Chain A
Amino acid sequence: MTPELFYQSLQFALPEIVLAVGALAFLMMGVFIGDKSSQLISGLSIALLAVVGAWIMIAPGNGEAFGGAFIVDPFARFMKVAAIIGSIFALAMSAVQGKAMHLDKPEYPVLLVIATLGMLLLISANDLIAFYLGLELMSLSLYVVAAFNRDSLRSTEAGLKYFVLGALSSGMLLYGMSLVYGFTGNTGFQEIAAVLSSETRGLGLVFGLVFILAGACFKISAVPFHMWTPDVYEGAPTPVTAFFATGPKIAAMAILIRITSETFLPLISDWRQIIVFVAIASMLLGSFAAVGQKNIKRLMAYSSIGHMGYALVGLSAGSESGVSGVALYMLIYMIMSVGTFACIMSMRRPDGEYVEEVDELAGLFARKPFMAVVLTAQMFSMAGIPPLAGFFAKYYVFLAAVEAGLFTLAVIGFLTSVVAAYYYLRIVKLMWFDEPKGEFERTPGELRFIFGISGLFITAYVLYGGPIGSAADAAARSFF
């Protein structure tokens, strides 16, 4: 690599490099200042992420860096900004409730920043090796933060479960990659695509594809690779759960989109049946299994499985409108999750105890009208009722499926969304129709601000859905 090329590569990856350097600097600060620096580092991390996010958004120029391993295109830009917004919200939530949840250590924000860095690399990965490196950078940080509350049995159990199953999925992913490399002789995504479109495909290649899809589906918690989700969501500290539901999902979905819609597009008939099956299974499990859940974090876990199913409906179309729909879906889902988890974090009794049972929300409307209204909007939005953002998210993914002629998939998807509406409605029913069960502690202003913003985004989406939709369309044009 010539110095000029290297210099050019650095330019493309500069935001990520700044983030990496920043994370290391924060780590040093933590080492030297000690535990009391955690608030400061959280604040600095949020600022750094905001700067990097803005930078990525406005930085001009698309292209490849590091010999094609790292790609910057409108799609990467869109997903990165979405992932960074999710991370910022998660960090802010942790900073607010950190002390009570035993997250007030300086390593915590550093790990979150490193995980975010992993997401950005994953989203920009354009090569199997870069894909794996980004994924592991993200996942290893996630394993640690899942078990961060090390005095809690549930938290450590969640971390261990996540790690064991995550390692298994990484193994599958690597095995798939090695098969793909073996049968195509390349690791670069474009090169693989070129080989695929020129030659007849071997059976081994399809095996490789299946293993890679399995690894990616594990990360987005799609059925049948979802088993870790409910336990990890329930066991991890709530801000960590909120983090899991936002950035990592976006990044994993982004790479799934990239490998299906770019690299393996010539094999669409092979991967489409897998994605269709995974989508249907996720939607069914996500809606039916959530009905019986009593813990709201478990319920959100099943709900997220269902939502990933809906997003995959758009992916299965294998078209530009499908990718645009998925990108939009992930953005809207991220914001809905942030708002919902901010509400869950506000479920605190006056004695400082956090409650997680769905029933504890009874009569919330009488006690905390603002939070109840926001959470109601979130629930209706997740159920896909217009005029809230969740409806438009579903609209575009199902539109793509219908355009691709996948009518059965669309009808199944809509029917499961009616089932899912039942459990979202049950929460609304508890908050509005039932008698209050107990007092809640005053919600910290920062949390009110976070769920207020999220509520505003999803209720007012109907007014500015056009420009956001166009941005998602522009992102999707990177591939087709």
Chain B
Amino acid sequence: MTDWPILSTVTFLPLVGVLLLVFTRDDTDDGRQNVMIISLITTIITFLLSLLVWHNFDGTSADYQMVEQYYWLGKGISYHIGVDGLSVMFVVLATFLMPFGVLTSWKAITRHTREYMIAFLILEVLIVGVFVSMDLVLFYVFFEASLIPMFLIIGVWGGPRRIYASMKFFLYTLAGSIFMLVGILVMYAEVGTTSIPVLLAYQFSPEMQFWLFLAFFLSFAVKVPMWPFHTWLPDAHVEAPTAGSVDLAALLLKFGGYGFLRFSLPMFPLAADYFTPMILTLSVIAIIYASLVALMQSDIKKMIAYSSVAHMGYVTMAIFAVNQQGLHGAIFQMLSHGVISGALFLCVGIVYERTHTRNINDYGGLVHRMPKYALAFLVFTMANVGLPGTSAFVGEFLATVGVFRVSVWTAVFATTGVVLSASYMLWLYRRMIFGQAKSALMQGLVDISFREHCIVWPLIVVTIFFGIYPAPVFDASAATVDRIVTNYHAAIEAAATAVQAVK
């Protein structure tokens, strides 16, 4: 059992599904059904295997586990993967959400179904790959490669402005991550390897940290996205098909936060300390500004997209508080936001499939026609607001506590975000679900089907379970978080003493 490369299996298993799909035909209804069944089975098996990874993971150790290392490019660049407390939960999150992506596409994707699912499964490989990479070049390969399937998913199967949105998405994120590549080259030239554990142990000079931090920051800030680098996100979210939006909001955005935790804090602590005030400010602006913008949207998906920007603001803010509460809050908030924003997009997908409109003003009175849907949507609305008992509350609470210990004013402004999110979400819920139907589109809607039950119920259970009992997540990440916080403050203090000594 110990010799079996379980992480590689989890990462690359979807490729088996891709291979099967290549030999499937999708020009009939039955063929399309087969495509979906193959994809669903692949994603479910991958998820089950990732649960095994979680089960085998020892949360009391801060080290990388289930490590595999093979010769790859030579010269200090190897195929090196493993999980630690930061990444293990993201692997599980990624594989957990994929089956829902398949389920929601079941009827929605009728053109080039096979190619869609191939792109989708390849995207899963790349997403999981980002989280398990222990080599910087490998990380970058997965990180950037994820643009290709996402570009095609938005561009081929997206909405009316799909071309603009996909181009903007691709070029914006490419421009951001190019700077990270320069950073990677500089680090490689300095250290001679791109192995992340080695780089973590290496002490970069303060000046170098400054530039490297900026290079990585640009890349991750676009990905998160932080204000003012967020403008690609609403376009991409709105135009992407439902499953694409889910992947984008729930997983691709997490690359940014994960990158900050994995690279920026531990590798460039002095620079991180220097830039903390700027990042806290940007985060607070993101929370308030994005919430206000969300309030004024008439497109449901756009509203959820801006709400994502706001919620990711909590994450960046909490990460740069650099204390136990902050980091735990950030990690938990990312996971919880992954589930909740994914669920919200899936809920939008359910009604969009019936009505083909995303305009809030077209909706109304859904509770009369789709009571079960109204219930499910209520849970996720409340979760997005951060109601106690849902997972979002745990994350946002810890994040705010963490920030409060560092900067009271930041925390004060950030909490207004909770009020604002309650305003736009509840208002959205009232306009969509209650009242009277405002357009003919609302006639003859049927309530959610068995397939859609399969989508919403697991997500409801997860949202509430981790809202009440978040311990499993904290257990997994505690040791790693402790080490990041300890090393960070040790590095800052060492630098401060050095300055004292010079004086």
Contact = CB atoms under 8 A, between A and B. Distances in A.
Contacts of B72: 465-466
Interface stretch (A16-24, A84-92, A249-257, A413-421): A413-421
Contact of A469 (B74, B174, B179, B182): B74
Interface residues of A, number: 33
B165 to A, nearest CB: 11
A392 B185 CA distance: 12
Interface in B49-74: 71-74
Contacts of A469: 73-75
B210 interface: no
B174 A418 contact: yes
B289 interface: no
Interface of B: 71-75, 112, 115, 137, 140-142, 144-145, 147-148, 151-152, 155-156, 162-163, 166-167, 170-171, 174-175, 178-179, 181-182, 185-186, 188-189
B140 A386 contact: yes
Nearest to A465: B73
Contacts of B75: 469, 473
Contacts of A417: 178
A385 B177 CA distance: 11
A452 interface: no
Most buried by A among B112, B162, B163, B182: B182
The 6 A-B pairs of least Cβ separation, nearest first, read A386-B141, A402-B185, A414-B178, A403-B189, A433-B155, A466-B74
A470 B74 contact: yes
A399 B163 contact: no
Nearest to B215: A411
A304 B148 CA distance: 23
B185 A433 contact: no
6 contacts: A385-B147, A386-B140, A425-B167, A429-B163, A429-B166, A469-B74
A462 interface: yes
Contacts of B170: 421, 425
A143 interface: no
A74 to B, nearest CB: 17
A329 interface: no
A278 B421 CA distance: 54
A191 B112 CA distance: 64
Contacts of A78: none
Interface of A: 365, 369, 380, 385-387, 391-392, 395, 398-399, 402-403, 407, 410-411, 414-415, 417-418, 421-422, 425, 428-429, 432-433, 462, 465-466, 469-470, 473
B156 A432 contact: yes
Nearest to B189: A403
A450 B72 CA distance: 27
Given A399-B189, A418-B174, A432 B73 contact: no
Most buried by B among A369, A386, A462: A386
B182 A466 contact: no
Contact of A380 (B73, B148, B162, B171): B148
A61 B182 CA distance: 39
A432 B182 contact: no
A118 B137 CA distance: 39
Contacts of B148: 380, 385
A365 B157 CA distance: 13
B156 A433 contact: yes
B151 A425 contact: yes
Nearest to A380: B148
Contacts of B162: 433
